[in-house]
Structure 1
Amino acid sequence: MHDELYRPLGQNLTSTSPRDHRRWRTAGVAAMLVAGLAGGSAFAVLGQPDFTPPARQAAPVEALAPSRVAAAEGPGPQIVRMEESGGVTITGGDGVPRVDGTTNPYTGSIRVLEPGSLRQPQAFAHLPDQALIEPSDEGPLPIRSGDGRRPLDVYAGTSNGTLGTRIAIVVGGLGISQTGTQQAVERLPAGVTLGFAASGNSLDRWMQTARRNGHELLLQAPLEPFGYPDVSPGEHTLTVADAAARRFEALDWSLGRLTNYVGVMNYMGARFNAETKALEPFLGELNRRGLLYLDDGTSARSQARDVATAGGTPFASADLVLDDDRNPQAIARQLDALERVARARGTAVGVASAFDVTVAAIAAWADGAAARGIEIVPVSALAFDPETKG
């Protein structure tokens, strides 16, 4: 009876042992399970929908407008204008995007998170970037480049990025006295920002020397003071009336006197800084050109901070004037006061003029700053800049 149960129909099989029968049954069950699993897997693969995204059709480069595709040459990050968004994605050498998703209202570009990723190499810091120049009858005017870079990005000075106590010192009036200019450019440490007067002399020569020495630069533009024209910063003063009417011929004259600067600092201009009707178009024009504005902090009536913040213009303001009293001991006391402000708040900005006594006092104070835990940074490192958020 046992043999009949295991005999295939129509065949006579020899008798097998129970162990052989169990081995045969086990192999048969395994084969059926494998076949079932294979069939199920095949059904699952063949029956599920295709989740592979369709390949994006890349537009040929020649079909795009020249402004829609751009690449940076030479060392540094590669910059590519993306057609879909009109923005800019910037990648480092490893190909990893470093962007924060903030869209530039003027160019549609995306600002860069990685500090210094757009900065000029030091070897070329004295050379103007031609993509950041707008030719004009008044000279080379600063402008945002087609790929979204700003003079503020490219000409910014360096800092080590630590979170310790940071102080920016701006020494202005360069270009007026050749001796004072030479002293400031050669004696002050690279972290000190230098402000060149638009009415100065040999500005391009001094700019190149200052940039080779590692300094960040500002341009001092004459703005209308109270009592103008009896009290005047000189020719080509931008008045409240002209700025309110968006007549920027005087400003363009100042901007065209120099290159390789990150922003504008007021020369006088107490009335100008108190008038929102002048500040709004003026700061908007600086923002359009990719520049910051530094208020020298001499007027308590200044509205520049509020207007700059509301309009998204990069902005900084001085906390102390260091050399109202040009006595060496008085300047040293002001530097100590600036240091106390910085220790209390984390940062501080001081302004001064390129007098010999001032340069000597700042140079002596700076010699021991690092040992006291102070980093001297360019003013752009402390500026409010809504396009970088970091």
Structure 2
Amino acid sequence: MAEAADELSTPLGQQTVGRTRRFRLPFTAMQALAVLLGLVLVGFVGVALFNDNPLGGEPMARITLRNPPPAAADDKNASTEAAVKSAAKAPATAGDAKNDTKNDARTVTIIDGSSGKRQDVVIGAGDPAEKVDGDTPPLAMTGIDPRLLEKSRYGMIPVVADGLKPFTVYAAEADRAKAARMPVVAIVVAGLGVGAAKTADAIMKLPPAVTLAFTPYGADPGKLAERARAQRHEILLQIPMEPFDYPDNDPGPQTLLTTLSSEQNLDRLYWHLSRLQGYAGIANFMGARFVATDPVMQPIVREAAKRGLSYFDDGSTPRSMAQSLSAGQSLPFARADFAIDAVPTSAEIDRALVKLETIAKERGTAVGVASALPVSIERLGAWLKTLDSKGIMLVPLTTAMLKSKSG
């Protein structure tokens, strides 16, 4: 009867359509999303708890070590490889026989991890003087004395050898007799190595007597440091250390921490020391908490002295133990009087430089530290040209250290 009534009430030309029930899921979309996020969180916690990787997040490299073939086979292979490379470069001539000793070399292929660029570096195998430990010769670098390098598990790090110290060998040239008779100023430009453009500006636009401090980070800090030394700049290596607001303010991977043992901090120190070569000393990179904590700072200062380096304190905290600890180890030391670009404006930088002049005249030695900001480089460059007329001598940091020590 209901269907008949529907048909009678339906307008002419239309048909009734039966209602269909919509299918509904037993949960909402928000509930499904919450379950999915919960599974992701459980998986993350599981990896964090059960994955045994104490250095998670730290940079690391993996290499494959293969046992070398017998000596005879190795010599034969080396000779064959050298012959193939020589033949590929030029046709054989009678004069080639004179260069047999030079062909006794090994070639290492370096692959850039970011660009994939390949570069062949030939390492001479015939000159024992070029070998650090009689086994594996280091890569040749401009002005680097291989005797002052030793192997660590991270790479080559500085060492005292044959009575020579990196501090004296890598100190920039200066007229120290003249410096002893007049007021001197040393300028350290820090934070280099990260940012090739600003690093290049500091290297090329500032005079050689300006000391440059490199952080261990960046794509290739060693190459930039080598360029700085080629321009006769003295260089330092900055060691990242724990600030008071760590980890909110994190200097970077392998930071030296007050919560680590001395062995762990020394291991991290070796990682930093291996990042580049040719530096006359080390400096703190941040580290207000670390440098003020005697038990953790003492082994670092002792290791720097053992390896023939110097120590530069950027003066950022008055509580630093570096000066007293350095004196106890007879470690060459200098402390910045202040940062000249703490307020990075032309007027404030110029005012700070005038203050530095006053300190130099009153005390005989003044040390300023700056960053590689364009305004800092520009004002420093202009100011340094006026020092001679003011009776003040610009000197590398090592010269200022030696004058302070003798005074």
The normalised TM-score by structure 2 is 0.62
User: What is the CA distance between 1:285 and its match in structure 2?
Assistant: 0.4
Matched, 1:224 2:239: no
- C-alpha distance 357-383 of structure 1, shift in aligned 2 (>3 A): same
Residue in 1 that maps onto 2:228: 210
- C-alpha distance 209-266 of structure 1, shift in aligned 2 (>3 A): same
Q: 1:223-270: CA deviations, max 9, x gaps? A: 111122222111110112336456412111111111110001100000
- C-alpha distance 327-385 of structure 1, shift in aligned 2 (>3 A): closer
Identity between Structure 1 and Structure 2 (%): 38
User: What is the CA distance between 1:125 and its match in structure 2?
Assistant: 9.1
Q: Report the secondary structure of 1:191's partner residue.
A: coil
- C-alpha distance 231-352 of structure 1, shift in aligned 2 (>3 A): same
- C-alpha distance 195-173 of structure 1, shift in aligned 2 (>3 A): same
Residue in 1 that maps onto 2:361: 343
Residue in 1 that maps onto 2:40: none
User: What is the CA distance between 1:126 and its match in structure 2?
Assistant: 3.0
Task: Please show how residues 1-390 of structure 1 align to structure 2 within 5 Å.
Answer: 126-145=142-161, 147-161=162-176, 162=178, 163-242=181-260, 244-245=262-263, 247-383=265-401
Q: Distance in 2 between matches of 1:245 and 1:230?
A: 25
Q: Report the secondary structure of 1:267's partner residue.
A: strand
- C-alpha distance 126-380 of structure 1, shift in aligned 2 (>3 A): same
Q: Distance in 2 between matches of 1:350 and 1:125?
A: 30
User: What is the CA distance between 1:136 and its match in structure 2?
Assistant: 2.1
- C-alpha distance 243-323 of structure 1, shift in aligned 2 (>3 A): farther
Q: 1:9-30: CA deviations, max 9, x gaps? A: xxxxxxxxxxxxxxxxxxxxxx
Q: Report the secondary structure of 2:325's partner residue.
A: helix
C-alpha contact 1:243 1:279 (8 A) present in aligned 2 = no
Q: Distance in 1 between matches of 2:184 and 2:326?
A: 22
What letter is aligned with 2:259?
A
User: What is the CA distance between 1:383 and its match in structure 2?
Assistant: 1.6
- C-alpha distance 355-253 of structure 1, shift in aligned 2 (>3 A): same
Q: Distance in 2 between matches of 1:281 and 1:208?
A: 28
C-alpha contact 2:257 2:265 (8 A) present in aligned 1 = no
User: What is the CA distance between 1:381 and its match in structure 2?
Assistant: 1.0
Q: Distance in 2 between matches of 1:385 and 1:342?
A: 12
RMSD (Å), alpha carbons: 2.0
Q: Report the secondary structure of 1:383's partner residue.
A: helix
Q: Report the secondary structure of 2:352's partner residue.
A: helix
Q: Distance in 2 between matches of 1:212 and 1:245?
A: 35
Q: 1:163-206: CA deviations, max 9, x gaps? A: 11100000011111111011000000011000011113322222
Q: 1:135-177: CA deviations, max 9, x gaps? A: 22312101111x1110001000121121111000000111111
- When you count helix as a share of all residues, which structure comes out higher? 2
Q: Report the secondary structure of 1:364's partner residue.
A: helix
What letter is aligned with 1:224?
E
What letter is aligned with 1:131?
R
User: What is the CA distance between 1:384 and its match in structure 2?
Assistant: 5.5
Q: Distance in 1 between matches of 2:270 and 2:227?
A: 24
Q: Report the secondary structure of 2:260's partner residue.
A: helix
C-alpha contact 1:125 1:155 (8 A) present in aligned 2 = no
Q: Report the secondary structure of 2:259's partner residue.
A: helix
Q: Report the secondary structure of 2:155's partner residue.
A: coil
C-alpha contact 1:243 1:282 (8 A) present in aligned 2 = no
C-alpha contact 2:194 2:217 (8 A) present in aligned 1 = yes
- C-alpha distance 306-266 of structure 1, shift in aligned 2 (>3 A): same
- C-alpha distance 243-190 of structure 1, shift in aligned 2 (>3 A): farther
Larger Rg belongs to: 1
What letter is aligned with 1:138?
Y
C-alpha contact 1:246 1:281 (8 A) present in aligned 2 = no
- C-alpha distance 245-385 of structure 1, shift in aligned 2 (>3 A): farther
C-alpha contact 1:242 1:248 (8 A) present in aligned 2 = no
Residue in 1 that maps onto 2:116: none
Q: 1:341-384: CA deviations, max 9, x gaps? A: 00100101000111111111111101111121111111111226
- The range that moved more, 227-236 or 255-264, is 227-236
C-alpha contact 2:194 2:221 (8 A) present in aligned 1 = no
Unaligned runs of 5+ in 1: 1-123
- Report the count of equivalent residues: 265
The normalised TM-score by structure 1 is 0.65
Q: Report the secondary structure of 2:368's partner residue.
A: strand
